[in-house]
Structure 1
Amino acid sequence: MTTKVIKAIIEKASDGGYGIYCPDLEEISLYGYGLTETEAKENLQENLEMFIDESENENIINALNKGDISFDYQYDISGFFKTYNFFNISELAKRIGINPSLMRRYKQGITLASKDQKKKIEQEIHILAKELCAVQF
């Protein structure tokens, strides 16, 4: 059996912790939560194991590939900025060409960015990362 890769989205939880959900597994509600990103990932794995151990539904067990799953962790914008909280959101927004107030709402999870906006933010962060890799002191 080959390992099934499941997309897992890391987001900022409403209480300030981290939440992880699997959009491809909405029908079984596989989630993780923790005060840290590591705790949330561990909780997601524990919940996966619990589903497998306790489920009598063969469809659920098959959907979970009998537990042989690898998670492809991705961030939503609020989760990214929670993890990488050293960014000056207003300055990054100006660099990207996004209204700083709107970018702060994305960061807080108040407003969800469109697909195009997410791509624009992601591309600029990748450009910034390449620039930082070239820095020498």
Structure 2
Amino acid sequence: MDVQKIELIIEKGENGIWGRVNYNDNLIVEEADNLDTLQLNLKGLLKDFEGLEPESVVFDIRYDVYALFRQFDFLNISKVAKHAGIHPGLLRQYASGVKHPSLNQAKKIEETLHRLADEMQKASVYVS
């Protein structure tokens, strides 16, 4: 069975998160309360419209800032903003969907999160 890697864009929806995939020049969209349900529903739509078996689909997930902070709600927006060199109020506006970051700002946020994740990966917990 061939695995199809398909880009899935996650954005702020009216009542949750909204996802879209483009497959064979067909735009397929769906909205759900959470990422697991969204992926399941989109795989079903890909089966209905494109004949793809759900188990053969792997999504390459891309988040807008709102969806990112909703999915990873344990992140402290003010602390991420400080590490990224962005005003915390501005990042809160991005995270709430009131404003949208420029490509440069989005890249800065992404690079900061990756750097913080790398730092966390190196951390060890000592038990006494």
SS in 2 for 1:29: strand
Structure 1 counterpart of 2:37 = 39
Are 2:106 and 1:118 equivalent residues in the alignment? yes
TM-score of the pair, normalised by structure 2: 0.81
User: In structure 1, what is the Cα distance between the partners aligned to 2:75 and 2:4?
Assistant: 34
SS in 1 for 2:100: coil
Structure 2 residue ranges without an equivalent (≥5): none
After the TM superposition, which residues 56-135 of structure 1 pair with which residues of structure 2 at under 5 Å, given as runs?
Answer: 67=52, 70-135=58-123
Structure 1 counterpart of 2:13 = 13
Identity of aligned residues (%): 32
User: In structure 2, what is the Cα distance between the partners aligned to 1:82 and 1:119?
Assistant: 18
- Contact 2:43-2:57 within 8 A present in 1 as well: no
User: How many residue pairs are counted as aligned between the two chains?
Assistant: 122
| Structure with the higher fraction of residues in strand conformation | 2
TM-score of the pair, normalised by structure 1: 0.76
| Structure with the higher fraction of residues in helix conformation | 1
Give the Å deviation of 1:70: 4.0
Change (3 A) 1:70 1:86: closer
Q: Determine which of 11, 16, 28 is the counterpart of 1:30.
A: 28
Structure 1 residue ranges without an equivalent (≥5): 53-65
